[in-house]
Amino acid sequence: MVGIDDVAKHAGVSTATVSRALSGRGYVSDATRAKVSASAEHLDYVVSSNASSLASGRTRNVGIVVPFLSEWYFSSVVEGAETALLRRGYDLTLYNLTGGGDDRRSVFEHFLLRRRVDAVIAVSLELSDDEVSSLHSLGKPLVSVGGVLPGVPSLTVVDSAMTSLSTEHLLSLGHTRIAHIGADSAFDRDFKVPTYRRKGYEQALRDAGITPDPALFRAADFTMKGGFRAAKQLLGQPRDRPTAIVAASDEMAIGSILAARDLGLNVPGDVSVSGVDDHQLADFFGLTTVAQFPKRQGERAVELLMEHLEPAPGSAQPAADLSSAERVPVPFELVVRSSTAAPKPSTA
């Protein structure tokens, strides 16, 4: 196993110089740097991250904690973060809380504390105050993606704004009987996302002078099947059928489209449907939706962390910035496809 002194010997310099040349910290003449790089390359030298971390206190590794992995949103955030980290020479250690209870405890009490990470990204995770402070007390930068954590910079879309947007889109097309498929508070895991999305829908209606009709709301579990069932209820009504459905997620929206087809209804002819996410299947189903960009969110989280892990020369108190920027808004955008259109002139 070739070590730093092999390189030093080969290059005819000291180990200190090798370290400086390769890590970029401290002064090394260009000539020396080149010589050292050549030797390192020649010998296939790679630093031992353990030794390096032990000596420097930096691990060049970031932990990311997710509640699930096999859902589109989460795996996309992770993918974005991973790409951004890789590019900067960092590793990504994944902690998946799927297991629940004990697993979760052990992640916080042992894993993250093993001093193996420089920073932590929490994705759509509601952390207890204890958990947040245990992270803070380690002096590890922490950012949240997809949910607001008290005292933690949080990259997150304004959920209510997304459904307001799609509701407004439908209103502007001339719809007035607009239904909503989302979830009531019983389904509120993850930061009350469902509730906020429902509020956005209701607000948009009110702003247009329409009182939200409870009969036009159906709770569902954010899956395609759930959306399918809910839409069946909504669209099966023999009279006063809604002319549009605002679903709180693309999967539910797609379920709604399938339900409409099942009932012999044409989308968007008889009913318009919109979703939220811009899921990979949205395009195939021609779904109008409000896109959020989870990969981008993962990348942004990394950028934010980097400002604090590797502050640009000339910034003063980076740590202060981090905790002050409580909420970092992330972009979203209406993507209009073929599942929404003006309602048919009421020939009834």
Partner DNA sequence: GTGAAAGCGCTAACAT
Partner DNA sequence: ATGTTAGCGCTTTCAC
Q: Which of 151, 172, 284, 329 binds a copy of itself (CB under 8 A)?
A: 284
Q: Are 139 and 160 in contact (CB under 8 A)?
A: no
- CB atoms inside a 10 Å sphere around CB 14: 13
Q: Say which entry of a copy of itself, DNA, none residue 14 contacts (CB below 5 to 8 A, set by partner kind).
A: DNA
Give me the least distance between CB of 189 and a copy of itself, in Å please.
Answer: 18
Q: Say which entry of DNA, a copy of itself, none residue 319 contacts (CB below 5 to 8 A, set by partner kind).
A: none
Residue 253: its H or E element: helix 250-262
- Asked if 54 interacts with a copy of itself (CB under 8 A), we say yes
- Asked if 37 interacts with DNA (CB under 7 A), we say no
- Asked if 29 interacts with DNA (CB under 7 A), we say yes
- Asked if 117 interacts with DNA (CB under 7 A), we say no
Q: Are 179 and 216 in contact (CB under 8 A)?
A: yes
Rounded to whole angstroms, the Cα distance separating 107 from 116 reads 12
Alpha-carbon distance values, 195 to 14, 20, 158 (Å) = 62, 53, 12
- At 70, give phi and psi (nearest 5°): -85, 30
Closest CA to 278 of 119, 150, 139, 157: 157
Rounded to whole angstroms, the Cα distance separating 275 from 336 reads 10
- Asked if 57 interacts with DNA (CB under 7 A), we say yes
Q: Which of 29, 106, 237, 324 binds a copy of itself (CB under 8 A)?
A: 106
Give me the least distance between CB of 303 and DNA, in Å please.
Answer: 23
Nearer to DNA, 52 or 75 (CB): 52
Q: Are 251 and 224 in contact (CB under 8 A)?
A: yes
Rounded to whole angstroms, the Cα distance separating 224 from 257 reads 10
- Asked if 43 interacts with DNA (CB under 7 A), we say no
Residue 288: strand pairing partners:
274
Q: Which of 43, 158, 263, 281 binds a copy of itself (CB under 8 A)?
A: 281
Rounded to whole angstroms, the Cα distance separating 283 from 345 reads 27
For a copy of itself, which stretch binds (CB under 8 A), given 112-120, 143-151, 233-241, 309-317? 112-120
- Asked if 217 interacts with a copy of itself (CB under 8 A), we say no
Q: Which of 34, 42, 58, 261 binds DNA (CB under 7 A)?
A: 58
Q: Is 238 helix (H, G, I), strand (E, B) or coil?
A: coil
Rounded to whole angstroms, the Cα distance separating 245 from 232 reads 11
Amino acid identity, position 121: I
- Asked if 32 interacts with a copy of itself (CB under 8 A), we say no
Interaction site with DNA (CB under 7 A) = 1, 3-5, 12-20, 22-23, 25-29, 31-33, 45, 47-48, 51-52, 54-58
Interaction site with a copy of itself (CB under 8 A) = 46-51, 53-54, 59, 61, 68-70, 72, 75-76, 78-79, 82-83, 86-87, 89, 91-96, 98-99, 103, 106-107, 109-111, 113-116, 223-225, 228, 255, 261, 280-281, 283-284
